[in-house]
Amino acid sequence: MSGSISRRRSGSPGGRGLEQDGTIAREGALSRVAQAFVPVVQDARARITETFDDARLHSAYLYGSIPRGAALPGVSDLDLLLALRREPTEADRADAKAIEAAVDRSYGQIDGVGILLSSTHTLLSELERHDGGFFVACLCTPLLGGDLAARLPRYRPTALLARETNGDLPLALPRWRHRAAEAATDADRKTLSRHAARKLVRTGFTLVMPRWGGWTSDLGESAELFGRYYPERLDQIRTAAVTGRTPSADPAVLGMLIEDLGPWLAAEYRAVHGEKAPRP
């Protein structure tokens, strides 16, 4: 697939995901999409264009392992963000769901499709400056339309960024416990274990990110970096990293994530960085 990203190319000195000036490099590019996933991305782009006209869609982005060039056929999913010109409606969500289903049905090399919807107003707002804004500017790869990153600041691995990106773990834990109690099948438990494990690894990494002084989205690397500062929790975070890639239906794994590692990490995060600013 042709295409490149002119702003915030990753691959900086020292392998810390930074540019020469110490700001976080944009981690993906269309040129890194592996050949196996090129038709998936092209189809998704075509369906988005057909479904969302210019009056609704400002821009579309890829994120996750596919634009980073780390995706595995048959294992990885396709992740997209649509930035709409107004707040998403139920009709917008229904259209996005239809695209998800159609693309997922058509390609065996992906294991699911997820489309996030947001408005340009929200993504560019002061409240989302170090969360949704950072996500677009550093973790998303432009696919369609104008790039909102041009209207956002350059980011550094600071305590503020840590708090605003992952300081909401205390809010997630009760929801996970409820879902675990309601889980009726192994598929339900696998879905929850994958979601919780990824969130915990990312929270663990951003807990130590300002001390390490860099950025990574790789789950394995994130776990090992966390373990440098919290060796007593290394085995647990390694298990979480593995579960984030290969979900587990084992109730013992889920219990470790939600009832042990999660509460400890939430308390430590609050002590070190504080909690994320509340959303209305």
Q: How far apart are CA 138 and CA 21, in angstroms?
A: 15
The whole-number pLDDT of residue 6 equals: 35
Q: How many CB atoms lie within 10 A of CB 102?
A: 14
pLDDT of 5 higher than 60: no
What average pLDDT does this structure show over 85-107? Answer: 98
Structural domain spans, the chain: 13-151, 159-273
Burial of residue 5 (CB within 10 Å: 0-12, 13-18, 19+) is buried
Which neighbouring-strand residues pair with 63? 79, 140
Integer CA distances (angstroms), 114 to 6, 79, 82, 274, in order: 26, 5, 11, 30
Instruction: Kindly report, residue by residue over 117-133, the tens digit of the pLDDT.
Output: 999 999 999 999 999 99
Instruction: Kindly report, residue by residue over 168-205, the tens digit of the pLDDT.
Output: 999 999 999 999 999 999 999 999 999 999 999 999 99
Q: Choose which CATH entry (3.30.70, 2.170.130, 3.30.1490, 3.30.460) describes domain 13-151.
A: 3.30.460
Model confidence at 43, in pLDDT bands (50, 70, 90)?
very high
